[in-house]
């Protein structure tokens, strides 16, 4: 059975003015899977997203697209006040052909922004804009959603709701999701694969695996990395005060390893 992933990035390198931003990066997004990019500022996360949606041709490497329709949410979108544009129109623009009023309202309600349909886009707050952008991407009925910090500027309660919505899109509707996020703990719980990026892919795999990878620890430091691990551990073991493993089940003296887990 041959199947094409929604997008496959192979050995991609990108340089801006001689400064290497991406170096031999591989990435694959399959239907129904959530792939989350983490990494420090300037690590090339947004650049990789732009390569993966075809906005930026790589200097080296290949990008193969299997997705039919892509929904894209940029990190930030500022619409000048001089451009008169209602939210309704902004949403309708994303869809080819006519789109019903109720369809637009439903999409906004899903992202918790049902009240802004008649507002001008320039009058939206940062958090409202992010919600509208997500609704707009969903209206395209994409099979691949690419989200660059989709909940930036959204209030705490809203963030959790939006991540639940994104998880449902992937696990219920089979949409492939590629996103950048800084909200390590919230995201990790619902992510199928974490890619830790710092120009090159430091490590990738299941959140639990990545959160214990030495390169990941080096990149984020033990404090951040540790707080993450608490949320993603399968907790078949406890930890002593010094962090060493305390077996919970006497039949399994050491904690379980995932399939991609290479540490001792």
Partner 1 sequence: MDEFLLRAMVAGLGLATVTGPLGCFVVWRRMAYFGDALAHTALLGIVVGLLLGTAPLVGVVAVCVVVALLLAGMRRDGRLASDSLLGILAHGALALGLVLLSTMERVRVDLMGWLFGDILAVSWTDAILVWGGAGLVLILLAAYWRCLVAMAVDEDLARVEGHNVGRGRIVLMLLVALSVAVAMKVVGVMLITAMLVIPAASARRVARTPEQMAMAASVAGALAVVAGLAGSWHYDTPSGPSIVVAAVALFVLSRLLPGRAS
In this structure, which long-range contacts are made by residues 105-110, counting pairs with CB atoms below 8 Å and at least 24 apart in sequence? 107/135, 107/136, 107/138, 107/139, 108/132, 108/135, 110/135, 110/138, 110/165
Nearer to partner 1, 85 or 167 (CB): 85
55 is a contact residue toward partner 1 (CB under 8 A): yes
CA 182, 12, 75, 97 torsion: positive or negative? negative
Q: Show Cβ contacts of residue 164 under 8 Å, excluding neighbours closer than 6 positions.
A: 190
Provide φ and ψ at 42, rounded to 5°: 75, 15
| Locus of tokens 């989709």 | 150
- How many of the chain's residues bind partner 1 (CB under 8 A)? 22
Where are any strands of DSSP class E within 103-208? 144-148, 176-180, 193-198, 200-205
The answer to whether 67 and 144 are in contact (CB under 8 A) is yes
Per the DSSP assignment, residues forming a β-bridge with 120 are 86
98 is a contact residue toward partner 1 (CB under 8 A): no
Nearer to partner 1, 71 or 127 (CB): 71
Residue from 68, 89, 141, 257 binding partner 1 (CB under 8 A): 89
Nearer to partner 1, 134 or 203 (CB): 134
214 is a contact residue toward partner 1 (CB under 8 A): no
CB of 130 to partner 1, least distance (A): 14
CB of 158 to partner 1, least distance (A): 22
The answer to whether 149 and 183 are in contact (CB under 8 A) is no
Residue from 27, 72, 143, 177 binding partner 1 (CB under 8 A): 72
The answer to whether 140 and 73 are in contact (CB under 8 A) is no
CB of 121 to partner 1, least distance (A): 8
Q: Which of 225, 227, 245 is nearest to 235 (CA)?
A: 245
97 is a contact residue toward partner 1 (CB under 8 A): no
Nearer to partner 1, 48 or 186 (CB): 48
- Over the window 112 to 151, marking each residue x when it contacts partner 1 by CB under 8 A and - when it does not, the resulting string is --------x-------------------x-----------
Residue from 1, 19, 80, 264 binding partner 1 (CB under 8 A): 80
Piece of the chain touching partner 1 by CB under 8 A; list 53-61, 154-162, 172-180, 248-256:
53-61
Rounded Cα–Cα distance for residues 98 and 117 (Å): 17
Q: What are the residues binding partner 1 (CB under 8 A)?
A: 50, 53-55, 70, 72, 74, 77, 79-80, 82-86, 89-90, 93-94, 96, 120, 140
């Amino acid at each position: 059975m041959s199947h094409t992933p929604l997008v496959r990035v192979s050995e991609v390198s990108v340089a801006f003015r001689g400064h290497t931003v991406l170096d031999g990066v591989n990435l694959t997004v399959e239907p129904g899977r959530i792939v989350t990019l983490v990494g420090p500022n300037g690590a090339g996360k947004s650049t990789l997203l732009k390569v993966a949606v075809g906005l930026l041709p790589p200097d080296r490497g290949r990008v193969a697209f299997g997705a039919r329709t892509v929904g894209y949410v940029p990190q930030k979108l500022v619409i000048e006040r001089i451009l008169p544009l209602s939210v309704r129109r902004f949403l309708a623009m994303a869809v080819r052909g006519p789109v019903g009023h109720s369809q637009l309202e439903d999409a906004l309600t899903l992202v918790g922004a049902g009240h802004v349909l008649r507002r001008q886009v320039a009058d939206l707050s940062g958090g409202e804009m992010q919600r509208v952008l997500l609704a707009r991407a969903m209206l395209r009925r994409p099979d691949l959603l690419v989200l660059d910090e989709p909940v930036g500027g959204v209030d705490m309660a809203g963030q959790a709701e939006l991540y639940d919505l994104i998880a449902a899109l992937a696990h219920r509707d089979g949409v492939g999701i590629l996103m950048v996020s800084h909200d390590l703990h919230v995201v990790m719980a619902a992510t199928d694969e974490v890619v830790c990026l710092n120009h090159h892919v430091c490590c990738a795999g299941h959140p639990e695996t990545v959160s214990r990878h030495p390169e990941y620890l080096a990149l984020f430091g033990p404090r951040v990395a540790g707080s993450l691990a608490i949320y993603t551990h399968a907790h078949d073991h406890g930890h002593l005060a010094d962090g060493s493993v305390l077996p919970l089940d006497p039949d399994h003296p050491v904690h379980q390893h995932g399939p991609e887990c290479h540490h001792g």
